[in-house]
Amino acid sequence: MQEWMKWAIAAGMALAVMAAVAEALKSKSREKPKARKLMSDREKAMYERLKECFPEANVLAQVSMGALLTAKTVSSRNTFDRKIVDFVLCGKGFDVWAVIELDDSSHKGKEKTDAMRDEMLRDAGYRTLRFKNIPNREQAKEAVSKAMAPK
């Protein structure tokens, strides 16, 4: 066997061993995912309020912005595809009436980020309603009615 072939075989074997070791280390260091609640107690109460106020509607919770928006480039999609909105209120044909956010104290200081998210949704033709607290029936109906009114 020629000398260069011996080196090529040795290099190939070394690469295979390194790949196997890297994969073993990666799988050992991978954290196991844990279940979490789909909604907080406040979000559950808001969901119930929306169902109560709009029985004819579909209320979707924890919706990926990637389900609402699309873009041609990966860099554009990366600006929204891992973000989640609290609720999407839809008609029976799943036409979006409004995107609804229930802002709690975790939104304090994140007004710019929230405004950028709202702008992305607005650019796509969606209306975002933000509530600091769970609205009463009249407040919810009035806000959605205004959001659905022609511009």
Per-residue pLDDT of 101-135, as tens digits, reads 998 766 566 788 889 999 999 999 999 999 999 99
Helix (H) or strand (E) holding 12: helix 3-29
Query: How many domains is the chain built from?
Result: 2
Q: Which residue numbers in the chain have pLDDT < 50?
A: none
Q: Tell whether 68 and 138 lie within a shared domain.
A: yes
Q: Tell whether 13 and 85 lie within a shared domain.
A: no
Q: Tell whether 97 and 121 lie within a shared domain.
A: yes
Residues paired with residue 59 on neighbouring β-strands, in sequence order: 89
Q: Tell whether 70 and 134 lie within a shared domain.
A: yes
Structure tokens at 38: 């789909």
Read off φ and ψ for residue 90, nearest 5 degrees: -125, 155
Q: Tell whether 102 and 85 lie within a shared domain.
A: yes
Read off φ and ψ for residue 126, nearest 5 degrees: -95, 155
Q: Tell whether 19 and 64 lie within a shared domain.
A: no
Residues paired with residue 90 on neighbouring β-strands, in sequence order: 58, 96
Residue 70's domain spans which residues?
A: 41-148
Cβ atoms of 45 and 87 closer than 8 Å: no
* Single pTM value for the model: 0.75
Q: Tell whether 90 and 116 lie within a shared domain.
A: yes
What pLDDT, on a 0 to 100 scale, did the predictor assign at position 67? Answer: 92
Structure tokens at 1: 């066997």
What pLDDT, on a 0 to 100 scale, did the predictor assign at position 151? Answer: 67
Q: Report residue 93 CA to chain centroid gap.
A: 22
Q: Tell whether 77 and 108 lie within a shared domain.
A: yes
Cβ atoms of 86 and 107 closer than 8 Å: no
Give the CA distances from residue 122 to residues 1, 16, 55, in Å, rounded to whole numbers and listed in that order. 69, 51, 25
